[in-house]
Each structure stands twice: as C-alpha cells, then as structure tokens.
C-alpha cells in the first residue's frame, strides 16, 4: 500500500490537483514532460471572461 | 505554479516521462524517466548568461515557432523549476560533436554538466491523476484555409503569443509576413555588410574608390592585378544585394500592425471530416482575443465568422455582448469556404453570409483560426501503458455519473485529457479528481466520517 499520488501533466489541471492533494497532507509526485510546468495556460496572454493575466 | 514548485509535499519531476505502470489501486508501481537537462538544477541560478553566449539558434516551441531560442534555454521566463536546460539535439557540443563548451565556460555557478545522464525514478503510489491536457488541431490538413501557404493566417495560440507582452513581438500585432520580411532583410543586410567590408579592404589597399575602379576596370584601363577580378565580382554582388534590399526596405517602412482581423470558428471541430465534437472554449477564446487586440489598439476591428457563437458559462453571454458593443467586434453568421491571398499578403475570406444569403468576400490584415482541442498525441501510448480505454473521440473514457473515473480503478482524469473544456472547468475538475484520489490513499475512518457503528 502506498499513500502517495502521482499526477501526470503539469498544466493548470495538474497543478491544481497537486496543490489540493498536497494541502491535504498527501505526498504528490508531479510528472511533466516539458522542462517547466505551466502547460498551455502559461502560453495564454489573458483569460476570459475577466481578461485576467494567465500566469 | 510557484506554489507547486515550492510545496514541501510536491515532488516536482519536470522534463520527465512515465515509462511503465504496474500494480493496482492502492499499490501502483511507476517508472519515470527524468531526462538529462545537462544543467544541474541545484546549482543553476537561472541568470541566463549561458543563453546570451550560446551560438545555436532554434525555433521556439513556447512561442509556437514564431520566435527563436538558443540550444541552452529556459522554456519560458517565469517557468518553474527556474532552471535552464540544454536541447541536446541542437547543441553543438552534445548533438553535433563540435567543440563548443561556451555555456560551461560562462556559467559562474558551474551548473552545466555535459556528462549528465537520464535518471530512472521508481515510484510507489496509491492513485494516479491524469492531467495530460490536449493538442492544438493542425489546420494545415484543411487545404481551403491555406494555413501552410498564407503567412497571415495563424492559429489562435499563435495569435495569443503575438498579443503577449512577453511574446516574440513584445505585444505588437506585427503580421507574420512582416516578421518574415524583417528576418529576410536582416539576413541580406548581414551579407551586404560582409561584402562591403571586403570591398573596403581592397579600396584601402589600392587607394581608390570602388566607383572609380569599376569605371577603369570596365574600360580596360585598370591594369593588371590579382585582386581586380575579385574586386569587380564583389562590387557586382554588393550592388545586386543592395538592389534587392531597396524595395524590401520600402515595403517594411510601409508596413503597419494588423488592425482588421477575422476569426474563423470551428476549425477542425464540428466538422465531420475531422472531429464531430465542439471544442467548447474557442468561441469565447476568439471573443477574448478580439477584445485584447482592441485594447492594444482601439482602431482594431474584428469579424468573428461562426455557425453560432456558444457563450455557455457564467458571465460569458455578457462578455460576448460587451465585445460587440465596445470592442468593434462584428459577429458574422456564416461558414468560411476559402481563404485566398492578395499581392500584399492580405488574406481574403470567402464566405456565405446566412443573413444576406449571398456568397461574399472581404479582405483582412490577419486571419485567426479557432483551432480544435484534440487529444494529446501522447494519449494513445499512455492509455496502453496504464491499460485505459479511450472514448470515440480519442480522449480518456469516463462515465457520466462518475465523470473523473477512468476505466481502471484508482486512475482519475481531469481537464482537457478528458475532453475539451475551459480553464474554470479544468480547475474544478482538478480539485474533484484530487478529492477522488484522496479517497483512495487517505480514507477518512468511518467513525470520523459519521458512519461508524
């Protein structure tokens, strides 16, 4: 039995899932294939419907 | 992003890929390959001195090929982990076997390590959350939209990079045709400078100006010298390059940023040749891009060509109306049949307007294709690796009443790996998937949950 969780993909969904699990005190292994996490959302300039900055 | 990089409970394995998954819910064993960065993460301070000196230039994936990066690079400025990485394939030292080593020389932290090897990490986990995202549909398979042929037809993600202050144009809406023109001018300028330097040396050596020399040479009065043939050839070449440059520079001086934009919806989605599904976020994405472009320059006008504009979400309908009222956006109901190009690289959009019931055409500065959200290219391989089923569209299969459970117990999916969705929905799903995974690895004792005996 292991109490760790592996999250595959470090985009907005992977980051959010990892943070939620980590905040519950669960050890997370976040695996991202690119050199940095951030995913597609980091490539966006602003987000709808509030035109907030994406990063 | 920063929080995820810093959290003591998150082991961040960036630049890594899963190679093997075995076991079952509660006790999965995974093998993860941590690819060699050739930069020691613990030593690198992220100062970027190596990037400045690196001699190899490559197309920048983060800017979707619109900009350039070096072989040693940081994926994007705010990237986490805040460390550099060498792209071995394009590195002179690692990939091409040439003598270089410049980055190692300039790195004051001594972080560059050409000997670094891939590492295999063994993980033991109770549950897996898939958040592998999506790929942008490649519009070059739709010949009538001319994405391959016409410079100023771009994808929504490319347009996003052009709008971004940290993008390749610093947030100016320069058209790709002008970016290409500028690159060509820079290349020719470099050639011309090289020729001029050689000519100057000859002028100094012989003590006369090229213009005088050419006159004499052509009249056969220059006399005999080993240099003269070469001098004449160089002068001729330089004149030819200068002649080619003049009209290009004139065109560049007359260029302006893109002010008249067209957005084409459902490119690759709701199209039975490619994907039957609706990609859900592109309608609002186009409205947003048109609004931001208008914010940058309030002379900008946009036409959004759509079958119908789907503003389904909190505040979306109001956002769409606000765009039409205050950001010069015109919504045109009609499917675009073809895009052609005029002699000034302006795309011409041909469409059937369902309001006037006529086939019409209009010329724009730039056309943005709202490309579909398609399953990530890694999805089929990952599904095989973990033993998961895919749905009819190629996303991870889930069931309506347990929308985050895949076909294998203990493996959950969230975000666009499950199907197209926007950011708020991805975030909501991610939190739910985290809760589902927590139920597996950290079940609350029945007594505490109020269900005890």
Quick one: pLDDT at residue B450?
63
Helix B176-206 × helix B226-254 angle, to 10°: 150
- Statement: residue B236 has pLDDT above 80: yes
**Minimal Cα distance from A13: which residue of B?**
B430
Q: What is the largest CA-CA distance in chain B?
A: 115
Quick one: pLDDT at residue B452?
46
Lowest mean pLDDT among B45-59, B91-105, B212-226: B212-226
Contact A21 B164 (CB under 8 A): no
Contact A10, B4 (CB under 8 A): yes
pLDDT digits (tens, 9 = 90+) for A35-44: 999 999 999 9
Please give the average per-residue pLDDT across B18-27, as a whole number: 95
- Positive or negative: CA dihedral B4, B10, B15, B16: negative
Quick one: pLDDT at residue B206?
86
Q: Which residues of B touch A42 (CB under 8 A)?
A: 1, 76, 78-79
ipTM: 0.95
Residues 6+ apart with CB under 8 A from B112: B38, B39, B40, B50, B72, B86, B103, B104
Optimal mutation site among A13, A29, A41, interface B, most CBs of chain B within 10 A: A13
Quick one: pLDDT at residue A46?
83
CA–CA distance, B46 with B68 (Å, rounded to integer): 19
pLDDT digits (tens, 9 = 90+) for B51-87: 999 999 999 999 998 889 999 999 998 888 989 999 9
Quick one: pLDDT at residue B449?
64
Please give the average per-residue pLDDT across B273-293, as a whole number: 95
Pairing of strands B366-371, B153-155: parallel
Band the pLDDT of B453: cuts 50, 70, 90: very low
Residues 6+ apart with CB under 8 A from B259: B173, B297, B299, B300, B301, B365
Residue percentage of chain A with pLDDT more than 70: 98
A22-44 residues labelled b (16+ CB within 10 A) or e (exposed): bebebbbbbbbbbbbbbbbbbbb
Contact B327, A48 (CB under 8 A): no
pTM attached to this predicted model = 0.90
Q: Which residues of B touch A47 (CB under 8 A)?
A: 288, 423
Nearest CA-CA distance, residue A47 and chain B, Å = 7
Quick one: pLDDT at residue B341?
96
pLDDT digits (tens, 9 = 90+) for B124-173: 999 999 999 999 999 999 999 999 999 999 999 999 999 998 888 988 89
């Amino acid at each position: 039995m292991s109490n760790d969780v592996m999250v595959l993909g470090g985009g907005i969904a992977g980051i959010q899932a990892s943070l939620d699990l980590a905040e519950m005190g669960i050890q997370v292994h976040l695996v991202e294939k690119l050199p940095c996490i951030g995913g597609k959302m980091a490539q966006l300039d602003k987000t709808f419907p509030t035109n907030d900055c994406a990063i | 992003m920063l929080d995820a990089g810093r959290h003591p409970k998150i082991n961040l394995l960036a630049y890594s890929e899963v190679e093997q998954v075995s076991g079952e819910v509660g006790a999965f064993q995974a093998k993860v390959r941590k690819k060699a960065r050739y930069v020691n993460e613990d030593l690198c301070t992220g100062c970027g001195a190596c990037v400045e000196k690196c001699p190899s230039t490559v197309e920048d994936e983060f800017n979707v090929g619109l900009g350039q990066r070096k072989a040693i690079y940081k994926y994007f400025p705010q990237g986490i982990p805040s460390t550099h990485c060498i792209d071995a394939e394009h590195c002179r030292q690692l990939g091409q076997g040439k003598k270089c080593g410049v980055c190692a020389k300039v790195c004051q932290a001594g972080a560059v390590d050409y000997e670094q090897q891939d590492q295999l990490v063994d993980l033991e986990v109770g549950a897996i959350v898939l958040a592998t995202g999506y790929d942008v549909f490649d519009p070059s398979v739709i010949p009538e939209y001319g994405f391959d042929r016409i410079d100023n037809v771009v994808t929504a993600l490319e347009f996003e990079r052009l709008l971004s202050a940290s993008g390749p144009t610093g947030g100016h809406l320069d058209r790709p045709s002008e970016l290409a023109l500028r690159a060509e001018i820079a290349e020719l300028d470099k050639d011309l400078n090289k020729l001029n330097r050689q000519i100057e040396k000859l002028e100094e050596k012989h003590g006369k100006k090229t213009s005088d020399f050419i006159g004499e040479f052509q009249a056969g009065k220059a006399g005999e010298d080993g240099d003269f043939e070469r001098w004449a050839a160089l002068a001729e070449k330089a004149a030819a390059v200068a002649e080619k440059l003049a009209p290009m520079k004139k065109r560049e001086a007359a260029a302006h940023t893109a002010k008249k934009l067209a957005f084409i919806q459902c490119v690759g989605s709701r199209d039975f040749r490619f994907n039957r599904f609706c990609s859900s976020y592109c309608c609002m994405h186009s409205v947003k891009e048109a609004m931001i472009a208008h914010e940058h320059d309030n002379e900008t006008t946009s036409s959004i060509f759509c079958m119908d504009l789907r503003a389904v979400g909190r505040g979306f309908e109001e956002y769409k109306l606000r765009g039409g009222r205050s950001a010069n956006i015109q919504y045109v109901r009609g499917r675009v049949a073809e895009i052609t190009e005029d002699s000034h690289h302006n795309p011409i959009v041909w469409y059937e307007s369902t309001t006037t019931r006529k086939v019409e055409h209009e010329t724009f500065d730039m056309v943005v294709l709202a490309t579909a959200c398609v399953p990530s290219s890694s999805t089929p391989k990952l599904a095989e690796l973990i033993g998961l089923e895919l749905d009819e569209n190629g996303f991870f299969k889930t069931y309506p009443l347990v929308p985050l459970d895949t076909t294998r117990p203990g493996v959950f999916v969230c975000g666009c790996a499950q199907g197209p969705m926007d950011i708020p929905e991805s975030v909501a799903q991610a939190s739910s998937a985290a809760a589902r995974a927590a139920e597996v690895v950290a079940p609350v004792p029945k007594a505490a949950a109020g269900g005890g005996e």
